[in-house]
């Protein structure tokens, strides 16, 4: 019985092992791929009257659990076949269909927006799920484009994030036909005051604190209309920091016939109406939109970018008027502003007498910082309080404390302490390195044995990043 049992056991073990071998050797191949289909069929995107809008659906197939992004790039702009120096720019637009994706972040405008040279249009969720989404491309204000046959190319690149996996690129051919038949409708031109395509602002430069955009209306409308604007995407820096759009304001000037936003308003995330014609469609031939900046003291230094999309609404029918880039450059600031209450740039106590009440000298400290990095403020006392004869005041009689003025950081001396010769830390900023302010109160007590006279010392303050 024992021998039979020993022979049978290996056979059972071998059988069990054989059952598991096929399951462990069948492995699914890695999939990381990008494809596209046109919603109306075909392999190239063709736009012509009356089919001036068509859809493209992008499909990402992935099972590698790698976060990824899709970048759209203009490989070749839409150039005329007969005159290569002639191109279609802002008339060729696109938008994303919200809800057409399931997992990730579709980072495209929901209204018609001119294509940028290169931009991230989709970022997957953290798990890198397979997903798909739809973009709509179209031709707007075709009556303002020169007639002809145009061709160009758009590339889509699927790129893994934090992975060595190779990217995948597809190229879409685009063909646009602009008919020679003109509608003869009025034209609206929107440019910067210098005729460019970028609104440039800088809170630290006088000539860049505001910027003008000119709106020219050539022709007469027969029905009422309005002109509006919308941010095509959030205002972001190169490092990914977002700027509150309410930091940017605008006002419409020189409009006399129509109704304009002639009071200062902040930019918003949605559609904003900026101008209305009269009920008959009569309008100003020219008016100006002035863009400016609000309080930037709490904005981290950097270059922030977005674009503003302008649109025309004719009794519910909307059309694209073009796009201007918005660029805001906030220069780094790291400085101290010192304001002695008595307006003297030294801690000085004049005509000190024995046994008199304590003397007080106050200093207001304002830290100007937008670097986004934490810092500390130090006090450097060069000497004891000294008179002309060289007599000094014992440190126990010369004290100081810090007083909050809605201070964001952490103050080190909330109660009176002796003023020590040398360096002392007075303030540690908050984690963001925010601009800050506080008050320093210096106090001198007069003992019975103090020599009468004038006593003073010099104190310096310095900022150091941590």
Q: What are residue 424's DSSP bridge partners?
A: 379
Residue-wise pLDDT for 130-152, tens only, equals 999 999 998 887 766 788 889 99
CA-CA distances (angstroms) from residue 308 to 105, 197, 225, 303, 396? Answer: 21, 10, 19, 16, 63
The H or E element that residue 19 is part of is: helix 2-25
Residue-wise pLDDT for 71-110, tens only, equals 999 999 999 988 888 888 888 899 888 889 999 999 988 8
What is the CATH architecture of 187-330?
A: Sandwich (2.60)
- At 111, the pLDDT band (50, 70, 90 cuts) reads confident
- Show the 3-state SS of 228-273: EEEECCCEEECCCCEECHHHEEEEEECCCCCEECCCCEECCCCCEE
Residue-wise pLDDT for 25-65, tens only, equals 444 588 999 999 998 888 899 988 766 788 999 999 999 88
Q: Would strands 168-178 and 45-48 be described as parallel, antiparallel, or unpaired?
A: parallel
Mean pLDDT of 314-320: 86
pLDDT score of 147: 82
Residue-wise pLDDT for 242-299, tens only, equals 999 999 999 999 999 999 988 899 998 889 999 999 998 889 999 999 999 999 988 9
pLDDT score of 297: 84
pTM: 0.55
- Which residue shows structure tokens 């739809």? 134
> Is it true that 32-178 and 187-330 share their CATH fold?
yes
Please state, in angstroms and rounded to a whole number, the distance separating the CA atoms of residues 311 and 309.
7
pLDDT score of 17: 32
Strand ranges across the sheet with 398-404: 334-340, 359-369, 436-444, 398-404, 417-418
Between these two residues, 247 and 13, which has the higher pLDDT value? 247
pLDDT score of 283: 92
Mean pLDDT of 158-183: 85
Helix (H, G, I), strand (E, B) or coil at 431: coil
CA 392 to chain centre: 55
CATH entry, 334-465, from 3.40.50, 2.40.50, 2.60.120, 1.10.3470: 2.60.120
pLDDT score of 2: 34
Q: Where are the domains of the chain?
A: 32-178, 187-330, 334-465
Across 218-222, 326-330, 339-343, the highest mean pLDDT is recorded for 326-330
Between these two residues, 447 and 294, which has the higher pLDDT value? 294
pLDDT score of 143: 67
Q: What is the DSSP letter of 386?
A: B
Please state, in angstroms and rounded to a whole number, the distance separating the CA atoms of residues 437 and 404.
8
pLDDT at 403 over 90: yes
Please state, in angstroms and rounded to a whole number, the distance separating the CA atoms of residues 13 and 30.
33
Mean of the per-residue pLDDT values for the chain?
Answer: 86
Between these two residues, 16 and 273, which has the higher pLDDT value? 273
pLDDT at 180 over 50: yes
- At 344, the pLDDT band (50, 70, 90 cuts) reads low
Mean pLDDT of 64-68: 91
CB 88 within 8 A of CB 176: yes
CATH number of the domain at 32-178, please? 2.60.40.3880
Among 211, 291, 286, CA closest to 247: 291
The H or E element that residue 461 is part of is: strand 459-465
Q: Would strands 436-444 and 375-381 be described as parallel, antiparallel, or unpaired?
A: unpaired
pLDDT score of 18: 33
Long-range contact pairs involving 36-43 (C-beta distance under 8 Å, separation at least 24): 36/156, 36/170, 36/172, 39/134, 43/173
């Amino acid at each position: 019985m024992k021998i039979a049992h020993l022979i049978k056991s290996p056979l059972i073990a071998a059988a069990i092992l054989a059952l598991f071998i096929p399951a462990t050797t069948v492995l699914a191949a890695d999939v990381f791929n990008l494809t596209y289909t046109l919603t109306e069929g075909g392999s190239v995107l063709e736009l012509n009257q009356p089919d001036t809008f068509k859809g493209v659906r992008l499909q990402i197939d992935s099972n590698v659990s790698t976060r990824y992004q899709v970048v759209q790039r203009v490989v070749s702009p839409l150039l005329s076949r007969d005159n290569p120096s002639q191109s279609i720019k802002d008339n060729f637009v696109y938008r994303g269909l919200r809800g057409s994706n399931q997992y990730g972040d579709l980072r495209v405008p929901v209204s018609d927006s001119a294509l940028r040279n290169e931009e991230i249009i989709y970022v997957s969720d953290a798990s890198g799920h397979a997903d798909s989404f739809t973009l709509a491309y179209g031709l707007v204000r075709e009556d303002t484009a020169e007639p002809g046959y145009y061709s160009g190319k758009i590339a889509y690149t699927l790129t893994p994030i934090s992975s060595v996996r190779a990217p995948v690129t597809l190229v879409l051919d685009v063909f646009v036909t602009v008919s020679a038949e003109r509608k003869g409708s009025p034209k609206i031109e929107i440019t910067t005051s210098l005729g460019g395509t970028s609104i440039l602002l800088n809170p630290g430069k006088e000539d860049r604190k505001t910027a003008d955009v000119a709106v020219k209306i050539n022709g007469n409308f027969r029905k009422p209309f309005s002109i509006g604007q919308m941010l095509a995407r959030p205002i972001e820096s190169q490092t990914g920091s977002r700027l509150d759009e309410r930091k940017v304001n605008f006002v419409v000037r020189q409009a006399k016939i129509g109704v304009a936003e002639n009071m200062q308003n902040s930019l918003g995330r949605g559609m904003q109406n900026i101008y209305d014609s009269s009920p008959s469609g009569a309008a100003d031939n020219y008016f100006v939109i002035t863009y400016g900046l609000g309080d930037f003291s709490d904005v981290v230094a950097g270059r922030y970018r977005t674009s503003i999309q302008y649109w025309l609404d004719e009794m519910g029918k909307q059309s694209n008027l073009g796009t201007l880039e918005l660029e805001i450059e906030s220069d780094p600031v790291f400085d101290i502003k010192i304001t002695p209450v008595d307006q003297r740039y030294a801690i000085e106590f004049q005509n000190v007498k024995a046994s008199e009440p304590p003397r007080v000298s106050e200093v207001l400290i304002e830290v100007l910082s937008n670097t986004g990095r934490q810092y500390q403020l130090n006090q450097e006392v060069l000497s004891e309080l000294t008179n002309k004869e060289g007599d000094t005041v014992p440190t126990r009689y010369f004290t100081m404390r810090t007083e909050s003025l809605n201070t964001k950081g952490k103050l080190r001396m909330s109660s009176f302490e002796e003023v020590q010769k040398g360096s002392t830390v007075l303030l540690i900023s908050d984690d963001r390195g925010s601009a800050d302010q506080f008050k320093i109160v210096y106090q001198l007590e007069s003992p019975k044995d103090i020599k009468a006279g004038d006593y003073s010392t010099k104190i310096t303050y310095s900022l150091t990043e941590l």
